[in-house]
Structure 1
């Protein structure tokens, strides 16, 4: 492949979908970073030539011109979607639709549409997939708080480019909204909320910011200061997302009823879970878990199906909670 063709493909990948855009100046800078030395005039001519074959838009009211892909442009540029890729997009649509706001999903709509067209063109039974798949969350289905679309776009761009971002944020215990600069480390979707994990400029500790409490967002083109030892998975498994009651982990030993809690065998409560057979009706598990409020909610809900063998203090705490609840339901 000629260097010109490679440059064309590289340039097309740099052009964002409308309403975002990129200028010829920005394209020149990014192409130089990729090893292509080309003038802005040449870039302008290349884009004009490419626009006759691809759905490119140009805003000539600004100088330099701003270029973008049509909002509804599909991804049928090389390579075309095959059946596995098309099915993957159908699955993504099923799982993402309940979690993301409409504006964020709108950016993926052309991809979803092309995937569906691919399945239909192949006359494959998978084309009926959207009618045969539903996503149901455990527990009560509460309404998800609305997230400002501009905030979500700002945060995701900051994460991808490893930049800081500025948010107008109203924490539950703050008297009024504050403008804060965030060093973002990751996003966690924990139904019904979306959490931005990171640090706040000038304040100690890793924070969890609930995105629906942010009203405005702005990208700060400064690199994120991220601790070298921070790992998002380790952060989650430390129990930080479960409303920690203490920093000390709990060595938990349970005797569980069959078949009510058989799912714990296939979906362990922790990395170090050990399962052993009890009698015909029970099995035992031992596992190290975080000392969280979520753990207590779960143990309370499963009280009729499991015995807390260790630690004794936790068994007494759950028993006391159940007793208070029972007394309350008996009140007249």
Structure 2
């Protein structure tokens, strides 16, 4: 096969979607990573030729020049997006777009637009109607997500990608003033409507969770991030960190009305959960389970109001009583 042909295809694939633009040296690095021995002069000639055939290619003059696709440009697929992929993108957008940072939405916009065009052109009696038969509903009031500053998201993402440290100001919850830290970014996670940076800092060797929207004035450093030996994000999450737990477990004993406990039959609190009727109390059950100790657990119990009574352990009984007043 003509090497020029494969090089041109890979050059098109290397162009970033709006709003990102890459310089010619950056695009050349991508091509060289795929095994092409192109020179900067050859790449510049190829880009000028391709932009003549594809008006959606944008060139920003400068030294060096920057290239990318214009806003709203259709995604250039080497193989056509099928209906299953279009439906997957549609469901993804409906589920995650409300909580995704604006920068991520901008990067995914060309693919989501292409999925919309594919669904719009599909026969009405086929898969184009399937998306209208799927609804997504979340419990609780429709709260708006916490939004990190655009500059914060950009710098944190770059630090994670390049494995670098960052310097940033962080204001902890219930604290009036921010403090400056040098952070070792380890990963990002999403819990409900808040994004968290997993990082070590300030002499702490154990990873901590920092709310991304509380970070400000983020500066990317040249020093590599110091990753704890054996750290793995999936293992970290499996330790119930999403609950921002204390690391302790407790043997929960909770009396619930039968109606309040009904959903626990399908979505149990733990593998060892048991639910037993309370003969002396009509329409009430006793739930026992080993769970992580966390503020989230307390507020979950409080959400049941008078339909829940904490029996044990004693420290949890006191916490709930104090908050109920």
Same-fold status (TM-score > 0.5): yes
Uncovered stretches (5+) of structure 2, i.e. residues with no partner: none
Whole-angstrom distance in 2 between the partners of 1:91 and 1:222: 40
Q: Which residue of 2 aligns with 1:22?
A: 22
Whole-angstrom distance in 1 between the partners of 2:294 and 2:269: 13
* SS of aligned partner of 1:198: strand
- State the Cα distance separating 1:306 from its structure 2 match: 5.3
Whole-angstrom distance in 2 between the partners of 1:21 and 1:221: 23
Q: Which residue of 1 aligns with 2:95?
A: 95
Q: Are the structure 2 counterparts of residues 219 and 56 from structure 1 closer, same or farther at C-alpha, using a change threshold of 3 Å?
A: farther
Q: Which residue of 1 aligns with 2:128?
A: 127
Give matches, 1:261-280, under 5 Å: 261-270=261-270, 272-275=271-274
Answering whether residue 110 of structure 2 is matched by residue 110 of structure 1, we say: yes
Q: Which residue of 2 aligns with 1:84?
A: 84
The range that moved more, 180-189 or 35-44, is 180-189
Alignment check: 8 A CA contact 1:247 1:291 kept? yes
Q: Which residue of 1 aligns with 2:296?
A: 294
Q: Are the structure 2 counterparts of residues 131 and 9 from structure 1 closer, same or farther at C-alpha, using a change threshold of 3 Å?
A: same
Q: Which residue of 2 aligns with 1:198?
A: 199
TM-score (normalised: structure 1): 0.79
Q: Which residue of 2 aligns with 1:32?
A: 32
The range that moved more, 273-282 or 89-98, is 273-282
- State the Cα distance separating 1:221 from its structure 2 match: 5.4
Superposed CA deviations along residues 190-226 of structure 1, whole A, max 9, x for unmatched, are: 2332211112365543222222223344444554332
Alignment check: 8 A CA contact 1:265 1:275 kept? no
Uncovered stretches (5+) of structure 1, i.e. residues with no partner: none
Superposed CA deviations along residues 300-331 of structure 1, whole A, max 9, x for unmatched, are: 3336555656x44256336634xx73xx5xxx
Q: Which residue of 1 aligns with 2:46?
A: 46
- State the Cα distance separating 1:234 from its structure 2 match: 3.8
- State the Cα distance separating 1:94 from its structure 2 match: 0.7
Whole-angstrom distance in 2 between the partners of 1:308 and 1:176: 37
Whole-angstrom distance in 2 between the partners of 1:199 and 1:315: 30
Whole-angstrom distance in 2 between the partners of 1:136 and 1:219: 38
Q: Are the structure 2 counterparts of residues 219 and 308 from structure 1 closer, same or farther at C-alpha, using a change threshold of 3 Å?
A: same
Whole-angstrom distance in 1 between the partners of 2:202 and 2:9: 39
Q: Which residue of 1 aligns with 2:155?
A: 154
- State the Cα distance separating 1:99 from its structure 2 match: 0.7
Q: Which residue of 1 aligns with 2:170?
A: 169
- State the Cα distance separating 1:285 from its structure 2 match: 5.4
Alignment check: 8 A CA contact 1:163 1:223 kept? yes
Alignment check: 8 A CA contact 2:87 2:131 kept? no
Whole-angstrom distance in 1 between the partners of 2:264 and 2:179: 43
Q: Are the structure 2 counterparts of residues 231 and 266 from structure 1 closer, same or farther at C-alpha, using a change threshold of 3 Å?
A: farther
TM-score (normalised: structure 2): 0.81
